[in-house]
Structure 1
């Protein structure tokens, strides 16, 4: 842990998270252009958006083991550089199978960045700033969508190539900044882990998901991520044309505001699990509000409310991890489940909801969102009594 908080390094590492989230946001912003170029339906283009999450879906819960034996600064620089190269290759708009392969490979870069960057941020912070620093990290996804939507109209005048190339430049610049601002050895590396075998891989997953305290945050997060990227992508299509450009920037920030609000509410007014349930209930109601007001002046207010309460769900889920797990090791396992199931939601949700939206219009968006919210509400209500944390047994080979 640093003796003084290294704010320049922390801001750069936060920007690394923004770059990782832009691996989703750039396709959401160029959604129509990519769909036209490759002749894809809404559902097909949704797969281009979400396929980055496939790697995290498979390895999210155990990816920390793979990077723990290397220098984290070097690993992060490598992931950013690889992300830059892949985005530059995508900017050439290769044939569709190759483009999908590049998006899959981007998933490795994405997963490494979102695991390593917050660890390094924590290492650059003193204890008294740690909560603020982690709160800053939690905003990276919404900020990425806002920034991308802000600059996308200008970049898309030159085609989707300009948008993808700009992301490549962002990632390359950050790789250089990380190399400069984080001196070798300035941040402690993680302790070495035992080699990852299939036996350990399966045993660790079984332990995480058999323990209610470590599994619940990830399960709640799954219902959130199944809808979140789809909301950011498709809700603007229900707004009047005169409001759409401005709200493309504002809506993700509403989610960020909801995430901050959740921290205050969970600290002083309601337990995190119950807050998650209340947030899901509000999401379901707001989704039908957006559907009922689609195309009218009231749609903007309903969309802002929907993204705000969705942000409350996200913030509440993250606060359930320390609420249910006091042991740092169990917290790490819970965060791994959140990463893994979050990637499952980000991979499956956009194409599924996109196909429903294409077939049934506004109702095709509202109904699946409301159903997912209802599932999250039921799970939160059933789990609202705080379970006693169960100790995790050592996995064979550790």
Structure 2
């Protein structure tokens, strides 16, 4: 939801803060800045301090930053708060998979991680679909709601998440981080997640705007439609997990998903169609692109240099995710401002082509 509230409130924030579309796109990107810089370090912290502690701290930081932005609604404060939200978001998204792996029995671990991979589309949907109910009171109401939800989840984790075994809180030397950084497997996962995130947010971050340009008159209706489209990505996550469980090769699934995503994005951005066709293509885009995360998460045990470095490996992968969240919308916003939407389609196609080449080169 912390990610999704920015596109949900983009038009309202552009109006009240006097922002261009390009400038507003940086409010979406800002949440990924910290994670793009120190994601692997956050993963190491989760391995050393305990995933439960890091996840709770991340949620508390997200809530505090969101509340600060709502209290002081000035552009520099809002932007800085988004950066701190990004640190908390990175901590939570890196720590929770490790917490699931610790808490769940081995035979239920894979379905639990597949369910976890839906956090992005479900959170985006909650923000986009629920935003119209709150935006009548200004974008600050949406920020307050996200802060309260973050605090509530922190309390639930504190009460209900099981205590981690003492052995999980081991010292994590810098040499182990260097081992992860220098290994080719984690780097490949980081690159692929970067390209996925850049691809996804280059389109998904602007769905309400695209739907309004296609003919949807009511901004709240456009936001709700975008929310349901993004929620379709949860079905794509679960479909990807089901295909992997049926023996589909993860690398083949990644290559096919990137290819189909590029084709679908071209249809959304380059075909002058009505609302119905554009929305249908957006739905397909969200489902197809969502096949990629479960395939990459499934590769973590295989690509980590050692089993005890799974947290840091996930950290490098989520660092790529954050870098894509920073650069994808920013580059897409700049391309749209200078050359219009077909340039964004070409940008996304280049991301997808690079990912397909990397997946072929990293075949295992």
TM-score (norm 2): 0.89
Cα deviation 1:136-164 (Å, max 9, x = unaligned): 11110110001111210010011101101
| 8 A contact 1:258–1:315 mirrored in 2 | no
Cα deviation 1:272-311 (Å, max 9, x = unaligned): 1121111111111111111214434211221111111111
SS of alignment partner, residue 40 of structure 1: coil
> Could you say which structure has the greater relative contact order, defined with CA pairs below 8 angstroms and 6 or more residues apart?
2
SS of alignment partner, residue 297 of structure 2: helix
Correspondence list, 1:233-312, <5 A:
233-239=205-211, 240-241=215-216, 244-268=222-246, 270-291=248-269, 292-312=271-291
Change (3 A) 1:151 1:188: same
**Root mean square deviation of aligned Cα:** 2.4
Aligned residue number for residue 111 of structure 2:
132
Which has the higher Rg, Structure 1 or Structure 2? Answer: 1
Cα deviation 1:328-387 (Å, max 9, x = unaligned): 145444322211111111111111112222333331331211111111112223333x1x
**Worse-superposed segment, 104-113 or 149-158:** 104-113
2:236 is the alignment partner of 1:230: no
Cα deviation 1:211-246 (Å, max 9, x = unaligned): 332222211111111121232121343334177354
Aligned residue number for residue 214 of structure 1:
186
TM-score (norm 1): 0.82
Aligned residue number for residue 380 of structure 1:
359
| 8 A contact 1:77–1:175 mirrored in 2 | yes
**Worse-superposed segment, 146-155 or 329-338:** 329-338
Instruction: Specify which structure has the higher proportion of helix.
Output: 2
Correspondence list, 1:316-335, <5 A:
316-324=295-303, 327-329=306-308, 331-335=310-314
| 8 A contact 1:80–1:113 mirrored in 2 | yes
Aligned residue number for residue 362 of structure 1:
341
| 8 A contact 1:214–1:330 mirrored in 2 | no
Q: Which runs of 5+ in 2 are unaligned?
A: none
2:117 is the alignment partner of 1:123: no
Structure 2 Cα separation of the partners of residues 321 and 74 of structure 1? 22
Q: Alignment partner for residue 343 of structure 1, among 322, 330, 340?
A: 322
- Quote how far apart the aligned CAs of 1:71 are: 5.4
- Quote how far apart the aligned CAs of 1:171 are: 1.4
2:177 is the alignment partner of 1:204: yes
